[in-house]
Amino acid sequence: MLYEYGHIGILVLIALIFPIGALATSWALQFVNIRPTSKPDVVRDDIYECGLRTEGPSRVQFNFRFYYIALLFVLLDVEIVFLFPWALVFDDVGWVGYGKGMLFIGTFVIGGVYAWRKRALEWRL
Amino acid sequence: MNSLDVVGPQLAVLVAAGLVLLLDSLVPQQRRLLPVVALLGLIVSALWTTSWVGRGDYQFLFDGTLALDKYSVFFYYVFAGITATVVLASIDWVNREGRGQGEYYALVLTVCSGLMFLAASRDLITIFLALELSSIPQYILAGWGKDSKSSEAGLKYLLLGAIASSLLLYGMALIYGITGTTLLPEIAAAIKADGETYRGLLIVATILLIAGFGFKMAVVPFQMWVPDVYQGAPTPVAAFLSVGSKAAAFAVVIRIFFEGLDADFLSDDWSMIFAVLAAASMTLGNVMAIVQTDIKRMLGYSSVAQAGNFMIGLAAISVAGNEFTLGASAILLFVAAYAFTNLGAFVGVIAISQRIGSDQIKDYAGMWKRSPVLALAVAFCLISLTGIPPTVGFWAKLYIFNAGIRADLVWLVLIGVLNSVVAGYYYLSVARQMFMGDAEEDKKFRASPSITMALGAATIGVIVFGIIPMPLMSAAQDAAEIFAR
């Protein structure tokens, strides 16, 4: 059993080679006279954003309500994932299965009602 | 039997949590019903547990990951009782705090369901999930207060808890790597079969497990968060942490070590580790508690010392034969006794502090004249923490020291007895302040009805089981019976 960890050992070796290789290369480059210039310029200091020109700084404050929306999205997302297998066997599980599915959805409805009543869905409070 | 029946107590508590949230958001003007709903959920949970009593047959469901046995039933009662007391003790504080009332009770109930799952699970993955289900709401609750101390407590608890969880996971991963299974009985079988070749690795895994759970149990050397978190967290939450999460950690440690890692070549090693940790916890906890001036910090260090007492039972595994379960049953008795006693002490602190607005021990002076019943109740709990009859704390200590002596741990029991003397000094000096000190003002006061109920239940438990300890003892022995070889 333990010896099967040998495979992971090989992975660890490979994982070590990458950072060590990168560090060693940049260290070795100092002896070669092709070092990149350290002079800053506009393009260099620019934020890389998929090749588009950026506008404004990258660290901006954004509305914390995005977090609510994201959380609710994850909630519904997970609900859908679990409903798919239920829908597939819907004909076979009968009324008991239907009840269980409703119970599951009902649990989410509690969360939804809670979020709605606590005004998490409103953009302005 | 239906699988759902096994998780009934947990489900009842979780449904109550959902109802509390719904009630809070749909009918905000009926906020004072929230604790009532929470308590009803806990009562339903306890009744559900009662419906199993006397059936006697063990059930392992969800592919053996959850157990329905006397052991989990014992802890279901303990946790339902602890949570009910905490809910009662929270009512005043939550009303005064104002915000997030529904969320507070919902989180407390979620913790309770996590603790119940923890006591019943016998699979490493389920154990971890249950641990996180109980821990994450506790992190939030610890930071519930509005002041910076509470935020510090919450953050400290969260960060150190995350480290402890990762150590625990690493230990579990090692055990899975060695045995190829996460089910405790299968782990035990695999270790007994060919575990001896991996003895070194198993000991490393054991140490990691002890480190992970040691954080929850609050034993030396994983105790550094205790005083800060207890002091900063809202007092009802501190009471919950000191009793609930400690009891659950011991519940799951007993299950893992007595059911999964009980191979002879291994248990000699870890019982030694537990013995050393017990001695260190008792000594350091008590010595540090003496110098505290804040009663919540003092109770924090005292809970470290008490965790050391619990651990004597874990160290006492090396007894063979029909006394094998002696250590486990001693811990169970201690858990129940400690739940009554420490909750009583904390509820008393809540009642007094919210009146005098201070947690300093010196401000407790003359409490006897201002509120005789309250002072008497707190004094009984402190006496029980020391372990003096006629309180339940005496029987718990007697039983656990007995388990230690039967396991040839005379040195450990000697340290324990010496520490009880030290503990007596600081517990009783609080009592002395209350009874002999002079109050700066002598206005009489009484605790609110809900706090009186909580304190009354705890104190009556301390005294009644101090006089007639047999029901509690036989319940603990019955519950520990499942580990009999």
pLDDT of amino acid A36: 62
Contact A2 B177 (CB under 8 A): yes
The pLDDT of residue B141 is: 94
Contact (Cβ atoms closer than 8 angstroms) between residue B187 and residue B175:
yes
Measured between beta carbons, the chain A residues lying within 8 angstroms of B22 are: 110, 113-114
Q: DSSP secondary structure string, B258-294?
A: IIIS--HHHHHHHHHHHHHHHHHHHHHHHHHHHT--B
Q: What is the secondary structure of A25-74 as a DSSP string?
A: HHHHHTTSS-PPP----HHHHSPPBTTBPP-S-S-----THHHHHHHHHH
pLDDT digits (tens, 9 = 90+) for B266-324: 888 888 889 999 999 999 999 999 999 999 999 999 999 999 999 998 888 765 555 67
Q: Is the pLDDT of residue A1 over 70?
A: no
Cα atoms found within 13 Å of the Cα of residue B356, Cβ hemisphere only? 24
Residues 339-368 of chain B with CB under 8 A from chain A are none
Instruction: State residue A109's pLDDT score.
Output: 87
**Which of B22, B101, B182, B199 to mutate against chain A (most A CBs within 10 Å)?**
B22
Q: Which residues of A touch B4 (CB under 8 A)?
A: none
| Tokens representing residue B462 in the block | 């301390």
Beta strands in B52-191 (DSSP E): 59-61, 66-68
Q: How many residues does chain B have?
A: 485
pLDDT confidence band for B469 (50 / 70 / 90)? very high
Length of chain A: 125
Lowest mean pLDDT among A57-71, B74-88, B210-224: A57-71
Distance CA B388, CA B398 (A): 10
In chain A, count of helices (H) and strands (E)?
4, 0
pLDDT, tens only, A40-83: 777 777 777 777 777 777 778 878 788 888 888 888 898 899 99
| Pairwise CA distance, residues A54 & B140, whole Å | 38
CA dihedral (B387, B391, B392, B395) in degrees, to 10, reads 60
For β-strands B59-61 and B66-68, DSSP reports them as: antiparallel
Do B83 and B10 touch, CB atoms closer than 8 A?
no
Distances B326 to A99, B313, B315, B400, B465 between C-alpha atoms, Å: 46, 8, 11, 8, 20
**Where along chain B do its domains lie?**
263-485
- For chain B, give the mean pLDDT: 89
Q: Tokens for B246?
A: 């400690």
Distance CA B302, CA B312 (A): 16
Touching A: B residues 140-199, CB under 8 Å: 177-180, 198
Residues A110, B18: C-beta atoms closer than 8 Å: yes
Q: Which residues of A touch B (CB under 8 A)?
A: 1-2, 5, 107, 110, 113-114, 116-118
Q: Given this model, what pLDDT does residue B69 score? A: 85
Do residues B277 and B345 make contact, with C-beta atoms less than 8 angstroms apart?
Answer: no
Average pLDDT of the residues in B411-417: 93
**Residue range A8-50, pLDDT digits in tens:** 788 888 889 988 999 998 888 878 776 566 777 777 777 777 7
Q: 3-state DSSP call for residue B360?
A: strand
In sequence order, which residues have a C-beta less than 8 Å from that of residue B212 and are 6 or more positions away? B164, B165, B167, B168, B169, B171
Residue among B141, B124, B119, B365 nearest B239 (CA): B141
Out of A1, A107, A114, name the one closest to residue B180 (CB). A1
pLDDT tens per residue across span B185-199 = 999 999 988 878 888
Average pLDDT over residues B39-63: 83
Report how far residue B165's alpha carbon sits from residue B150's, in angstroms, rounded to the nearest whole number.
22
Is residue B18's pLDDT more than 60?
yes
